[in-house]
Amino acid sequence: MDSILYWNAVALEANRISHSNGAGEQTGPPLSARALAIVQLAMYDGYIGALGPSARYRPYLPDLPPAPPGADPDAAVAGAAHAALRALFPSQAEAFDRALAYPGLSGPGVADGLRFGRLVAERILADRAGDPGVSDAGYRPSPARFRHRVDPFNPGQGFHGPFYGARSKLFSATRRHRNEDPPRGNQVYLEALRIVRVTGIAPELLATVPDFLVESLPPDRRRRTEERTLIGVFWAYDGANGIGTPPRLYNQIVREIATHRNNSTEDNARLFALINVAMADAGILAWEEKYRHDLWRPIVGIREHDPSTGPAAERGGNDIDTDAQIDWLPLGSPASNSANRNFTPNFPAYPSGHAAFGAAALHITRRFYGIAAEDMNPDRLADGLTFVSDELNGVTRDNSGAVRPRHVRDFPDGLWQMIVENGRSRIWLGVHWEFDFAPRPVIGGLPLGLAIANDIFDSGMRKSTVGPR
């Protein structure tokens, strides 16, 4: 049994349960990514430390003491994962205790391995003890045009993590990567508004979109096809009951690839530390950029497009701009396994966190398997593989109570296809603008995620020295 894959599965289940049991532990995308990075780093340093001089990779912590001679590496993984998970998800402690008992570790070196793993977990947790939370206490949204405000259909949703990004030190990136300003009010913005208005609209409002607007768009942006609806749901993982957050999905994908390629345990220790550290830094930097640019979501931007609308209305007037639609609704992030209304996430649009997380995790996986830093072409890493999202597994229900069908998806253009599809999926749900994901370099979440992945991979996944903003 591969101890890394075993405890990675336990950690992913903890993420799923944490969004279902009401305990509120490590919920939402940034804290999910942070928790998974802490667990995987503890597992990685435990395993590498127990291997000692025979290890091919360096540990993450620069001041880690040596493991006792003969310490069992798999036991070190178990001790590290068990201790980190118990600290991060205390309501699930009994499940982690059962997981520790299941592998039946025994023999010489196990006790020393467990103790060393726990020591590593304590060091990693201590290193991150000063991280901020995601509370919006003290945050005041702006009433200005183009600035983010809550989903009008969820007026009590608040603001997720307004101070998290800027106040967090980095895990491994060597600098605080930034995005250029998004377009506001120009022709690029207007085309993006028209695209999401048409392709991200709620099904019951399709007849309200004027024909001239549809015809003004490029042919491949004129309607949300059935496949695009499916893609939007496939990649969602919007903290739904029984599903969890996007970092869980990207781990699930990389598990399939690692298993298919028969990775060694040491390689899996490195790979899963890389992807989760990259996502943790993506969560920090995407959230810093989100609240720095503070761009409204389509649910507000389309409804208040005309200058006579909104809390900062610039003028009176009855000649309403035809690009405004005051009753517009998105298809929405799916409120799976509940009866709640589909929703728009409670943080600013730009850049897309989904695109940043996905690009960071999947591109650092591409780098691990030898693909060049700037290569943005199709790859063969998913050849022969199929994937099933928990959003479309034949068990998950939509918010009407209907069980969604099981959908088996393949990716003939590999992880690059996943990176692009994952980013675009948010437009088809109607919760993001097209430029939130990646029209050009340094604009959007996709290039932000790529930059983070390349930075961490090229610098060797060292502990970062870059503190809060």
How far, in Å, CA of 438 to CA of 424, rounded?
Answer: 9
Tokens of 360: 């960071």
> Quick one: residue 178, left, alpha or beta (phi over 0 = left, psi -120 to 50 = alpha)?
beta
| Cβ neighbourhood burial of 213 (10 Å; 0-12, 13-18, 19+) | middle
Closest to 41 in 3D by CA, of 22, 62, 24: 62
Specify whether the CB–CB gap between 387 and 362 falls below 8 A: no
DSSP category for residue 405 = P
Amino acid, single-letter form, for residue 235: W
- Which of 160, 177, 354, 432 is flagged as catalytic? 354
Give Cα 319 to chain centroid, integer Å: 41
Tokens of 116: 């060393």
Amino acid, single-letter form, for residue 282: A
Give yes or no for a cis peptide into 219 (omega within 30° of 0). Answer: no
DSSP3 helix / strand / coil % (the chain, rounded to 5)? 50, 5, 50
Q: Which H or E element spans position 451?
A: helix 445-458
Alpha helix ranges (H) inside 180-316 = 187-199, 211-215, 226-234, 246-260, 265-293, 298-301
> Quick one: residue 442, left, alpha or beta (phi over 0 = left, psi -120 to 50 = alpha)?
left
194: Cβ contacts below 8 Å, ≥ 6 apart: 213, 216, 217, 323
| Cβ neighbourhood burial of 462 (10 Å; 0-12, 13-18, 19+) | middle
What is the widest separation between alpha-carbon atoms in the chain? 81
Q: Bridge-partner residues for 393, per DSSP?
A: 406
Instruction: Reply yes or no on whether 160 is catalytic.
Output: no
Catalytic residues: 354
